[in-house]
Amino acid sequence: MESIRFINILRLVMCQNEERSKKLGCSKQPKSKFWKEQHKQKRTWQLTSLLSEMAAVPARLCYLFPNFNFSLLKPNVLSLRSFSPSQNYYLRLRSCKCSSTAPVSTTTYEFSDGSSEVELRLNIGGLEIRSSRDILVDTNDTSLAIRVLRPGSPITLIETNPLFDRIKPSETIWYIDDDQLVVNFKKQDPDLKWPDIMESWESLAAGSSQLLQGTSIYLVGESTEINQKVAQELATGLGYTPLSTKELLETYTKQTVDSWLLAEGSDSVAEAESAVLESISSHARAVVSTLGGQHGVAGRADKWQHLYAGFTVWLSQTKALDEDSAKEETHKNVKDGIITYTNADVVVKLQGWDPAYAKSVAQACLRALKQLILSDKKLPGKKSLYIRLGCRGDWPNIKPPGWDPSGEGNATPGTQDRELVADI
């Protein structure tokens, strides 16, 4: 009876996701002819044997684990870790009310992105600016402040840190055109299209689409609730399909995961979640929240092969009081290799949790993923190749077609430790 139930779960989930894909435009990644032939008989065997023997994953994996640093309040978040450039992208007349200790002007701006430059136009009519010497444009590679100089306190027109991406501050040009202040910036990465001048939830959501290239996102961590809340925010912002392995399992078994755990144990739940993840691993443009704790797939190192199909984000609660302590804690986790979540591509540290701030955590996730992909723009294509070859567990050192993990034993790809730092 147990085998029949697991088989039905997998079949129902696959049918449900096929139907959802048609309705929401969630497309599948094509698989190679080789993979289809090789796994035709294997899938039948997996179903009839309750998916008890999955292809072995490598014992030692590369930690593509940038340590990004953010700090947000309520909760505190410590995040440790294309468009055609030939066409202009315009952002029309946005209202900008910037925070500063100096007097602030509520103004509007226009923004456009060319191939290697971005242009900002600020309305300065009515400010009685007599010459360019009344304007102060202060930039570095990640921030911008524009002020009107006045006796006493200057008036801040716009102040943003960070910018959407890095610029070359020494090549900044600005001038007054009638009632507008025009500022031109040279981008450090001319291939990256900027949706806006500043990095915000809206610009990150819009800009991440060009970077992710349809690659799905998987959220792992100690809390199922946190994974679900943040996944919903990410899916809404990106226009992706939100999927929850907890909801899928409970829908088709007609019981809660907690009662399932009590009745049959964590091994049974992990096997079922593994089947669900296999069925959705070839779908693009999805944000998948997984079961928290050690009873799910993410808590078991030998069941990550389908999580590697997308970018994995570890939402980690911490008692660290500052960023340095959180970073040290994460490095220790990676070094010890005890916590399987350290297999994730990025980690977001949370000091406390409040569902009202799920969007803030989602924004930290997008920023970390943006910097990860900018550090290696081939990653989305590599994820796609991994899916087409059948999610064999050979991430990140993908083996040639025909490689059989069961015949080779546990593979040992070389580690590739990377550390990136980004500050809000």
* 424's tokens: 């809000």
**d(C-alpha 307, C-alpha 136), whole Å:** 49
Helix ranges, 265-395 (H)? 266-280, 323-336, 358-375, 379-388
Q: Which phi and psi (to 5°) does residue 175 adopt? A: -160, 165
Q: What is the largest CA-CA distance in the chain?
A: 84
Spatial strand order in the sheet of 286-289? 76-80, 346-351, 311-317, 217-221, 286-289, 241-244
Give per-residue pLDDT as tens, 344-399. 999 999 988 999 999 999 999 999 999 999 999 999 999 999 999 999 999 999 99
Q: Which two tokens stand for residue 237?
A: 């912002």
Other beta carbons within 10 Å of 336: 9
Cβ neighbours for 220, distance < 8 A, ≥ 6 positions apart: 227, 290, 298, 307, 312, 313, 314, 315, 341, 344
Say how many CA atoms lie within 13 Å of 372 toward its Cβ.
Answer: 29
Query: Across the strands, what pairs with 347?
Result: 80, 314
Whole-angstrom distance, CA of residue 155 vs CA of residue 189: 31
3-state secondary structure of 139: strand
Query: pTM of this prediction?
Result: 0.75
Please report the beta strands in 187-228, taking only residues with DSSP state E, as ranges in sequence order.
Answer: 217-221
Distance CA 282, CA 268 (A): 23
Beta-bridge mates of residue 132? none
Measuring CA to CA, how many Å separate 366 from each of 104, 154, 230?
29, 34, 11
Q: Where are the beta strands (DSSP E) in 97-171?
A: 107-113, 117-123, 135-139, 144-148, 155-160
Domains of the chain: 109-186 (2.60.40.790), 201-389 (3.40.50.300)
Burial of 387 (0-12, 13-18, 19+ CB in 10 A): buried
- The contacts of residue 125 (CB under 8 Å, 6+ apart) are 179, 180
Q: Tokens representing 407? A: 């015949």
pLDDT tens digits, the chain, 424 residues: what are they?
A: 444 454 454 555 445 544 544 444 444 455 444 444 444 333 333 332 322 332 222 222 222 233 333 333 334 444 443 222 223 333 333 444 333 334 444 568 999 998 899 999 999 988 888 888 899 999 999 999 999 998 888 999 999 999 999 999 999 999 999 899 999 999 999 999 999 999 999 999 999 999 999 999 999 999 999 999 999 999 999 999 999 999 999 998 999 999 999 999 999 999 999 999 999 999 999 999 999 988 899 999 899 999 999 999 999 988 888 888 888 888 887 777 767 888 999 999 998 899 999 999 999 999 999 999 999 999 999 999 999 999 999 999 999 998 988 765 444 343 333 333 333 2
Tell how strand 286-289 and strand 76-80 pair up. unpaired
Q: DSSP states of 260-327 as a string? A: HHHHH-HHHHHHHHHHHHHHHTTB-SEEEE---STTSGGG-GGG-TTGGGSEEEEEEE---SSHHHHH
Query: And the tokens for 12?
Result: 């129902």
